A and B are shown apart, each in its own frame.
Chain A
Amino acid sequence: MSKRIILDTPQLNIMLHRMAIELYENHSNFSNCALIGLQPRGIALARKIKALLIEEFDLDHVTYGELDSTFYRDDFRRNEKILIPNSIALDFPIEGMDIVLIDDVLYTGRSVRSALNALADFGRPAKTELLTLIDRRFKRELPIQPDYVGTNVDTRAHDRVIVDLEKENKVWILTEQNNA
């Protein structure tokens, strides 16, 4: 296994700022828009984006929620491990709102598919968008594309992308050496 940094802290910060600006451009005062972090790994990114928006654009309030789609996944009973759910925090009506789903890595698209189904059980948003920090674009298994992207990363199936937004603020790629 070799571990290589693909985003260091300054690059990551620039990217987060750029995405916050793009969101602000499209949704200005966020009066009818909500950010929803996808459990488990989209939460740290979603919280950062929310904090940046409030800080940079002097917004009073950005509606924010956290969604878990474990019960909607399509690999239930297909794994050795059971799928353990995470908590959901969606205490506002999403009916008629613009929703931005936020996840750290977009890969096969299957977890976004399950999140869209989970979201539909809470109401009918006017519009749903997707923000992702890393787009592993060559392994999509469903017709799902992000509206806001940090960066595209071309990876092979055995590679792993590790996003750490809480301690070191970096993104790595783990590659199996014998296949390199």
Chain B
Amino acid sequence: MTRLSSNHLLGLKNLTAEDVQLIFETADNFKAVLNRPIKKVPSLRDITIANVFFENSTRTKISFELAEKRLSADVVNFSSSSSSVSKGETLIDTVNNILSMKVDMVVMRHPAPGAALFLSKNVDAQIINAGDGTHEHPTQALLDAYSIREKLGSLEGKKVVIVGDILHSRVALSNIYCLQKLGAHVAVCGPPTLIPKHIAALGVQVFYKLQDALDWCDVANMLRIQMERQETKYFPSLREYSMQYGLTMEHINKLSKEITVMHPGPINRGVEISSEVADSEQSIILNQVENGVAIRMAVLYLLAGQKEG
């Protein structure tokens, strides 16, 4: 295995299990770099990366920016609120204008599903998808799987349940693809209105009761309710959602085994997860954030390294 199967990172759907393993092994090396006094290597010093965010982001943007800087890349940041997009420019024009300033890679978040794929076909740069609408969020899925691998040793045969707003979640879809490629069993859990109709076709189990899902799983990945994407009412109230699907210590104490709790952030404490659980020993939420930088360094390094110089 000497290169990734794609020149872009658009989603987990088209990556192979070998690609994911290569990214993980490279991330192990970068994790070691991040624990050194000098947390920087010169690999990408002749590469310029544009972070193009058409949607709000805190964690992902900072994580990408840190990863790029730790690799010595030059970084330009762009967000749609302060740009010509509001003046009517098209996506291709905006990106081509950035690229004409000699930019090599584009990290993009966009509200439209498929935006990253569209861009990869229309501009001459390597594209990394940092979230395209409700479609995919590949680096989040990679860091989630990497964090599980770190905690449990391997993904093979592990049972992971994703709880919450599956319908609007790009994290859920990317996680399903990624975990299944690595040999894990995946289930989703949430109110019927927030579970996509044909999700079973992806080979995932569906639970409608949180306690049943927890009894089944080794790992519970709790998702936020994406209010900004909900145009109709999918459940009566947040309070009711929280009573049915919010993870509390009470649930955990009922289990005969220890489960690992994850959350991609941002957390709504007291809604999908209680503070006690979020801050408990079983929670690897902050490890996920830490691993995010190493995973993104690995992705950037591997993609940049295989572009013919």
Contact = CB atoms under 8 A, between A and B. Distances in A.
Interface magnitude class on chain B: 20 to 34
Interface string A122-142: 110000000000000000000
Contact of B29 (A81, A82, A87): A87
Interface on chain A toward B: helix, strand, loop, or mixed SS?
loop
A71 B33 contact: yes
Contacts of A117: 42
Contact of B302 (A78, A82, A121, A122): A82
B26 interface: yes
Interface string A42-84: 0000000000000000000000000010111000111011111
A17 B255 CA distance: 61
A74 to B, nearest CB: 9
A122 B38 contact: yes
B305 interface: yes
Nearest to B40: A121
A5 interface: no
Interface string A66-106: 00101110001110111111111000000000000000000
A82 B305 contact: yes
Interface string B32-59: 1100111011111010000000000000
B26 A76 contact: no
B32 A78 contact: no
B237 interface: no
Contact of A72 (B26, B42, B301): B42
A154 B38 CA distance: 39
A111 B252 CA distance: 52
B279 to A, nearest CB: 31
Contacts of B38: 121-122
B275 to A, nearest CB: 37
A67 to B, nearest CB: 11
B305 A77 contact: yes
A126 to B, nearest CB: 18
A123 B28 CA distance: 22
B16 to A, nearest CB: 15
Interface on chain B toward A: helix, strand, loop, or mixed SS?
loop
Given A81-B3, A82-B2, A122-B38, A76 B43 contact: yes
Given A83-B305, A85-B26, A88-B29, A121 B36 contact: yes
B307 interface: yes
B309 interface: yes
B280 interface: no
Given A78-B309, A122-B36, A72 B29 contact: no
Contact of B307 (A77, A81, A83, A85): A77
A77 B309 contact: yes
A83 B22 CA distance: 11
Contacts of A83: 305
A28 B262 CA distance: 53
A36 to B, nearest CB: 15
A80 B308 CA distance: 7
A95 to B, nearest CB: 10
Contact of A84 (B2, B32, B33, B304): B2
25 contacts: A70-B29, A71-B29, A71-B33, A72-B41, A76-B44, A76-B305, A77-B46, A77-B304, A77-B308, A82-B306, A83-B305, A84-B2, A84-B22, A84-B26, A85-B29, A86-B29, A87-B28, A87-B29, A88-B29, A88-B32, A117-B42, A121-B36, A121-B38, A121-B40, A122-B37
The 9 closest A-B pairs by CB, nearest first: A71-B41, A77-B309, A82-B305, A85-B29, A121-B38, A81-B2, A71-B43, A78-B309, A82-B306
Given A80-B308, A117-B42, 10 more contacts: A71-B33, A72-B43, A77-B309, A81-B3, A84-B26, A85-B29, A88-B29, A121-B38, A121-B40, A123-B37
